[in-house]
Amino acid sequence: MSKFAGLSTGRPSVTNAAKAKLLESLKDDAPQEPLKRVNFQVAESKHTKLKVHAAKKGQSVREFLTDYIDSLPDS
């Protein structure tokens, strides 16, 4: 008989009920807005300029552009 009989993987301190409760508490209650993809061609030099600018701010291009859009006035 194996000395590991009856053992299973996973954290013994977290039961399925506790895990379900934790996951439920982490859910975002705000309804998510549908997402749209934005895709366009840009010169390589401009793409590099955009990536460098975003990186200097510690952001990805997506994060940088999303923040920029959020800063635009509502029309």
> Residue 71 belongs to what domain range?
41-75
Judge whether 22 lies within some domain.
no
Judge whether 63 lies within some domain.
yes
Judge whether 6 lies within some domain.
no
Q: Distance (Å, rounded) from C-alpha 57 to C-alpha 54?
A: 5
The predicted pLDDT at position 2 comes to 59
Does the pLDDT of residue 4 top 70, yes or no?
Answer: no
Number of domains in the chain: 1
Torsion, CA 58, CA 38, CA 74, CA 57, rounded to 10: 10
The predicted pLDDT at position 7 comes to 67
Does the pLDDT of residue 1 top 90, yes or no?
Answer: no
b/e 46-71 (16+ beta carbons within 10 angstroms → b): eeeeeeeebeeeeeeeeebeeeeeee
Both tokens of 4, joined, read 């590991």
